[in-house]
Structure 1
């Protein structure tokens, strides 16, 4: 049976070199990095080296990087901390309607505690209007949180413009860059961003490890209490192996960045071209921004074929795709991202996300396109 994995936006396979880099930290360099003996010092040195490597990749100083358990913790920490430290100034937060639920649900939780949240709309391509964002700022606005690139449709937001506005008004600016990492060059020496969230498992690193960038002078209210790790900002015994794996994944990415992006862009283009050839331009609707987008995400609708029906048939054919965020794909609800984009009903209810990775091939694109076309024709002919 064919097995084709087109769901890299949900998670990626761990790179073999990452696995090899991690293995010694399970069995040989297993010390607790907080211990003062040689085993502990060796573990601590590995974490320091990994932090320096990751910091270099995203353009920040190593002390500005806080390790977490992943993107959700990074997002939550940034939002809850900013809400607490800024409470004396105000209780107004600005975000967008298409954020990951790690941000949206955190904001909803704060609303229950008396905070006010403005959820900015987006246009039909999934982009926030910078002018509307600026008009939404109030004297009591204490945080702006806008994702770098959307995980469902791949649309990239005007982060530099938003950050410039936030800096001018003295408002902390958080960016969820979990999906953007590795696909958009990130230089935090230049970007006007105060906090940025990352996760390793989107870039062929291990699950369960992420990071939060904190600009200088950005206050942080720890979510956890119990130890002095991470400069007293995030207590808990360090996950040595995962930290090393995260760094190794980015080292591999840095060495092949241009070639990988060109390959992913071509896979995406080939899929759109082939589907259009097989089904016709009227029967294939590509969602998201045509230019300001990630190279590896293709969100496409097949009007007349429901998302659930398509995904079920694809799975039977051995093809893994998604309806949206992996955190909510088990739900039958229509994507909140596509709803916010105000797409036509037939487009909204037939959208499927294909997301490509380093291991995918042109042959897989051809096989998948043929099977998709067969499924669409069979369902529509009924």
Structure 2
């Protein structure tokens, strides 16, 4: 049976070159970076070179990059530091953020009496920037704005430049969850005055369980993990050397080929949209995910004209892997919190699917998926 993987917003296939780099590191560069002997020094040098190279892609300095286990840890580390280290008393966010942000903000609000306000979003999942400015004006307390750049379910893209300008104008810190950005969109941190971003390597064809957080220089970092004072005291625990080197390689490959990959994936997405419309002209696209300019080129969130509770299961039986929302919610019966926020109750009762693409997706994959969807929905 043919298999098709269209869940790249959840995780991506690791590049062969990345596997080779990691394999070599596991075999040859196995020292503990905290050890002072030659094996430790070799490992330490490799980690610090990776840090420097990763930082250079974003016009950042190596000291501003902290290696983590991925996006969730990075978001937690930043939000905790905002409250416990930087004196933030108020957080502005939206109800369509990743749960790594929403759940952490909820906890911090209760545990530390932090005020939380939610910025309005429209039916396309776009942030209401006028409302954001109104919220920034309304209180004179130390504030953090936490808004994701690319939504992981509907692909809506935040105007990062404008939000950064508003935060600077009203003296607020700005954190953006950029997990779906890194490796897919160029990001120059000299041009975008963002204070904090995060990345997860497995979203751009790197290994799982490794990522990084960016803290703008001058903030200092209060660690969540205590012990060995690794990462300049910001995160204790022996560095995941082979995964860090794999992430460095994956990022290099992704950014070196970013325009070519984008063009290729956009063509696939456009083809998929046109073919979906031939199945049923009442098929809709959640948010503006069918917009090839305003939306992420890797994500397409599709809403059927009716409910089909067995659709994901039927596609899986046909060898097609997709998601009903974010992979983090796949075991949840509550549905997508993102779609719940932007759709009407009637629209929410219909079945929605998230298809997400990568450079490894083929036109044959799309054609096969369309064929099976026609069979299932007949």
Return the TM-score normalized by structure 1: 0.94
Pairwise CA distance, 1:6: 0.2
2:94 to 88, 93, 96: 96
> Once the 2 structures are TM-superposed, how far is the Cα of residue 141 of structure 1 from its aligned partner?
4.1
The offset of 1:348, in angstroms, is 5.3
Aligned to 1:19: 19
**Alignment correspondent of 1:380:** none
Deviations 1:43-81 (A, max 9, x none): 011111111221122221111111001000000000011
Question: Does the CA-based 8 Å contact 1:31-1:39 persist in structure 2?
Answer: yes
Is 1:111 paired with 2:113?
Answer: no
By how many angstroms is 1:108 displaced? 0.8
Cross-structure match for 1:84? 84
CA contact (8 A) 1:163 1:192 kept: yes
Distance 1:67 1:343 in 2: 40
Give, in angstroms, the shift of residue 347 of structure 1.
Answer: 5.1
Give the CA deviation at 1:142: 2.2
Equivalent positions of 1:174-323 (< 5 A) are: 174-280=175-281, 282=282, 284-289=283-288, 290=291, 291-306=293-308, 308-323=309-324
What stretches of structure 1 of length at least 5 have no aligned partner?
378-382
Matched residue, 1:374: 375
Task: Report the Cα offset of residue 218 of structure 1.
Answer: 2.0
Please give the residue correspondences for 1:160-171 in structure 2 after superposition, counting only pairs within 5 Å: 160-171=161-172
Unaligned runs of 5+ in 2: none
Alignment of 1:97-176 (within 5 A): 97-113=95-111, 114-137=113-136, 138-176=139-177
* Cα gap change, 1:166 to 1:346, in 2 (>3 Å): closer
Q: Which moved more, 1:325-334 or 1:195-204?
A: 325-334
Instruction: Answer whether contact 2:64 2:217 (CA < 8 A) is retained.
Output: yes
Asked if the contact 2:121/2:127 (under 8 Å) is kept, the reply is: yes
* 1:348-359 pair list within 5 angstroms: 349-359=350-360
User: What is the distance in 1 between the residues matched to 2:57 and 2:331?
Assistant: 34
TM-score (norm 2): 0.95
The CA distance in 2 between the partners of 1:366 and 1:245, in whole Å, is 33
Give distance in 2, aligned partners of 1:288 and 1:348: 16
Q: Secondary structure at the match of 1:144?
A: strand
1:52 corresponding residue in structure 2: 52
Contact 2:4 2:365 in 1 (8 A): yes
CA distance in 2, matches of 1:18, 1:104: 32
Cα deviation, residue 140, structure 1 = 1.8
SS in 2 for 1:23: helix
| Structure 2 residue matching 1:211: 3-state secondary structure | strand
Over aligned residue pairs, what C-alpha RMSD do you find?
A: 1.3
Closer, same or farther in 2 for the Cα pair 1:53/1:83, shift >3 Å?
Answer: same
* Cα deviation code 1:242-265 (max 9, x no counterpart): 000000001111221111111111
Residue 219 of structure 1: how far off its partner (Å): 3.3
Count of aligned residue pairs for this structure pair: 372
CA distance in 1, matches of 2:374, 2:135: 45
Contact residue 124 and residue 343 of structure 1 kept, 8 A? no
**1:333 Cα deviation from its structure 2 partner:** 1.6
Q: Is the 8 A contact 1:303 1:347 kept in 2?
A: no
Contact 1:83 / 1:142 at 8 angstroms: preserved in 2? no
SS in 2 for 1:106: helix
For residues 302-331 of structure 1, the C-alpha deviation after alignment (integer angstroms, 9 at most, x for no partner) is: 12133x421111111110000111111111
Partners of 2:221 and 2:324 lie apart in 1 by: 35
SS in 2 for 1:212: strand
Residue aligned with 1:63, SS = helix
35-44 or 112-121, which moves further after superposition? Answer: 112-121
Conserved 8 A contact 1:94-1:141: no
**Partners of 2:184 and 2:204 within 8 A in 1:** no
**Alpha-carbon distance in 1 for matches of 2:156, 2:148:** 10
Q: Secondary structure at the match of 1:51?
A: helix
CA distance in 2, matches of 1:155, 1:141: 28
